[in-house]
Amino acid sequence: MLRWLRPAEFHKTVWQVDGAKLVSRGVVAVLVDLDNTIVEYRQYRTSDALEKWIAGLKSHGLRICIVSNSRRQALAASLGAHIDVPVITRAGKPSRRALRRAMAMLGAGPSETAVIGDQVFTDILAGNRLGCHTILVSPLSRHEFPGTRLVRILERFVLRSLKIDQEAVPPDHVQ
Ligand SMILES: [Mg+2]
């Protein structure tokens, strides 16, 4: 069970995920979560940190898609348009369907795709089910969907077993 939930990498903030390192692992496509991964929960606006990070990934030739379980399609699409990254909402992770769709769109297979997110039971599980390179990050805020808070209780047990300390990190925390 833990094998499906274990991320290949963990970072305190998404901004530490380095494009050059991904490329050196053979990664060509990055599927990144939205809420609490690149923006605070339901705060769908850009930030300097986000724009710098996206530009860095693109400078290494990485193809990017935001894959989110959010239902706020219009707001998410408008953020995506602003940073020139396609967005898939209502992804239903840990279902693999939306991730497969994103990979097909970006022309990448699972072994050359990184899946990044702040939740073990959605982002990491979906990515691991496909055999992608999975990267867990700390959530950008403590605000989240009430259902998520319940899942976090379970998640804490998993992370403790995996010896990962996933504490929320403020959004402008750039290292
Ligand atoms: Mg999230």
Task: Supply the pLDDT for residue 174.
Answer: 47
C-alpha of residue 134 to centroid of ligand 1, in Å: 14
**pLDDT of 103-139, one tens digit each?**
999 999 999 999 999 999 999 999 999 999 999 999 9
C-alpha of residue 37 to centroid of ligand 1, in Å: 5
Other beta carbons less than 10 A from residue 89's beta carbon: 19
What residue ranges define each of the domains in the chain, with the CATH number in brackets? 2-161 (3.40.50.1000)
Is the model's pLDDT at 87 over the cut of 50?
yes
Task: Supply the pLDDT for residue 88.
Answer: 98
Over residues 140-152, the mean pLDDT reads: 86
C-alpha of residue 150 to centroid of ligand 1, in Å: 14
Read off the DSSP letter of residue 35: B
- What is the distance between the alpha carbons of residues 58 and 112, in angstroms, rounded to a whole number? 15
**pLDDT of 15-70, one tens digit each?**
999 999 999 999 999 999 999 999 999 899 999 999 999 999 999 999 999 999 99
CA geometry: angle at 62 spanning 58 and 64, to 5°?
Answer: 85
Query: What pTM, to 2 d.p., does this model score?
Result: 0.92
Identify the weakest region by mean pLDDT among 8-12, 15-19, 157-161, 170-174: 170-174
String of DSSP letters for 54-110: HHHHHHTT-EEEEE---S-HHHHHHHHHHTT--EE-S--TTSSHHHHHHHHHHT--G
Is the model's pLDDT at 3 over the cut of 60?
yes
Q: Tokens representing 152?
A: 């976090």
- What is the distance between the alpha carbons of residues 22 and 26, in angstroms, rounded to a whole number? 7
Exposure string over 133-163, b if 16+ CB within 10 A, otherwise e: bbbbbbbbbeebeeebeeebeebeebbeeee
C-alpha of residue 118 to centroid of ligand 1, in Å: 5
C-alpha of residue 108 to centroid of ligand 1, in Å: 23
Task: Supply the pLDDT for residue 169.
Answer: 61
